[in-house]
Amino acid sequence: MPKLDGRTILITGAARGQGEQEARLFAAEGARLVLADVLDDQGEALAKELTQQLGEDRVRYQHLDVSSETDWAAAVETTLSVFGTLDGLVNNAGILRFNELVSTPLEEYLAVVRVNQVGCFLGMRAAAPVIEEAGGGTIVNTASYTAQTGMALLTSYAATKGAILSMTRVAALELAAKGIRVNAICPGAVDTPMSNPANAFAGGSGAPVMSAEDAASLAEATAELYAKVVPMRRIGRPDEIAKLALFLSSEDSSYITGQPVIVDGGWLAGVSIG
Ligand code: NAD
């Protein structure tokens, strides 16, 4: 039997990258899906493609800026009016800015907090009562290996990912009695538009801030870096993160809550020699 048969799950940041792979895998595992993002064209196209593939009306796209309370209220309302219930949430949307601590403008710091940290908080707050009404379910937050260790140039990003882990633990404690499990994924480096230097500084806005040539040489340098520092000698694939999101959203993880789960090719295990 498919692992998410008949369950309704909302995935944020679902238009591309890890969220897109989560959408594809969850659809294949029988879920009814609300795909939410600010990249409307890409999100609509994915929802259309999955609907054609499944031959059933099981996937909807919803515009949702995760930092907006109004958008969250509308997304939950749409989910209930289309599917009648909500059983799960994957808080996946996120943005990344590289900057030195001493050069980071307050507005840049707050922009990352608004999407990554406030977005996760608003999502859990909006979804939990509805998931409780459905008889319980799951919330999967997306943190990062930078929630577990430091990385230069990532003050704002790492701060939000640490906050996501803290919120995950508190939410798990408060929601366990309501039948809701809350866990967090901590990916290492994963091959998505976010980790592509051509997009990295622009986060969700999609505006490249370096030349294609510079981006290509930086991409080469980071690939070499991952081959050295990651024990498995490669960057992760977004479908490998989706499999963890599926595990944490399904009955296979029925006794796990409040946990950060690292998926990083062994990066955080220690120093790799040889
Ligand atoms: P990505 O940039 O490919 O995808 C992120 C998605 O979030 C995009 O579709 C984007 O439009 C959406 N988004 C951005 N701002 C939004 C907003 N305000 N409201 C709604 N959606 C918004 O990146 P990804 O690698 O797929 O990242 C997915 C998650 O994984 C993020 O939370 C990211 O921080 C985390 N992560 C990524 C990596 C990596 O190496 N790629 C590593 C650790 C953690």
Is 228 domain-assigned? no
Tell me, what CATH number does 80's domain have? Answer: 3.40.50.720
Q: How many CB atoms lie within 10 A of CB 182?
A: 27
- Asked if the model's pLDDT at residue 175 lies above 70, the reply is yes
Residue nearest (by alpha carbon) to ligand 1 atom 3: 17
* Collapsed DSSP state (helix, strand, coil) of residue 168: helix
Mean pLDDT over residues 237-248, rounded? Answer: 98
Query: Do 13 and 62 contact (CB within 8 A), yes or no?
Result: no
Q: Say yes or no to pLDDT of 39 above 80.
A: yes
Spell out where 39-165 has E strands. Answer: 59-63, 88-91, 137-142
∠ CA 264-162-16, rounded to 5°: 55
- Domains: count for the chain: 1
In a domain, 176, yes or no: yes
Nearby residues of 13 by Cβ (< 8 Å), 6 or more positions away:
19, 36, 37, 66, 92, 93, 94, 204
pLDDT at 204: 43
Q: Which residues line ligand 1 (CB under 6 A)?
A: 12-13, 15-19, 37-39, 64-67, 92-95, 115, 142, 144, 187, 189-190, 192-195, 204
What's the confidence (pLDDT) of residue 203?
44
> Which residue among 61, 109, 145, 157 is the active-site one?
157
Output the pTM of the full model: 0.96
Is 218 among the domain residues? no
Token pair for residue 154?
Answer: 């990532």
Is residue 166 situated within a structural domain? yes
* Probe residue for ligand 1, chosen from 21, 156, 190, 222 as the CB with the greatest number of ligand atoms within 8 Å: 190
196 part of a folded domain: yes
Do the domain assignments include residue 274?
A: no
Q: What pLDDT digit, counting tens, does each position of 121-137 carry?
A: 999 999 999 999 999 99
- Percent residues over pLDDT 90 in the chain: 85
Containing domain of residue 89, as a range? 8-208+237-262
In a domain, 224, yes or no: no
pLDDT, tens digit, 9 for 90 and up, residues 59-116 = 999 999 999 999 999 999 999 999 999 999 999 999 999 999 999 999 999 999 999 9
